[in-house]
Amino acid sequence: AQKVTQAQTEISVVEKEDVTLDCVYETRDTTYYLFWYKQPPSGELVFLIRRNSFDEQNEISGRYSWNFQKSTSSFNFTITASQVVDSAVYFCALTPGANNLFFGTGTRLTVIP
């Protein structure tokens, strides 16, 4: 069975604080892809990152960084020095094998100025 768990429903931080969004996944497939998407209040999902199961290297893109650990089935997302524009719902998602995209329930991040 495939499952993506985002245990944090809502998070509030003060601007300039760092924040980490957790994502834990379950799959029996050995080949799979993990994603993070951002959904601002406008509703459009914005693609942030894609990582395949064989690449455990962490990635940094500006203020964003991702920590992928197969040993704990986690793919956590950290925003450094948060800004008000980071306020959105963030979805972690999994594509196992040749199947469709499975989304977590999302984490609503509010950055307070």
Partner 1 sequence: GAVVSQHPSWVICKSGTSVKIECRSLDFQATTMFWYRQFPKQSLMLMATSNEGSKATYEQGVEKDKFLINHASLTLSTLTVTSAHPEDSSFYICSASLGRQETQYFGPGTRLLVL
- Please give the residues from 28 up to 47 whose contact with partner 1 meets the rule CB under 8 A: 33, 35, 37, 42-47
Q: Which residue has the tokens 């925003």?
A: 79
Least spacing, CB of residue 40 vs partner 1, in Å:
11
Segment contacting partner 1 by CB under 8 A, of 15-23, 54-62, 72-80, 91-99 = 91-99
91 binding partner 1? (CB under 8 A) = yes
State phi, psi for 86 to the nearest 5 degrees.
-80, -10
Query: Given the complex with partner 1, which of 29 and 73 has the nearer CB atom?
Result: 29
DSSP 55-100: ----EEETTEEEEEEGGGTEEEEEESS--GGG-EEEEEEEEETT--
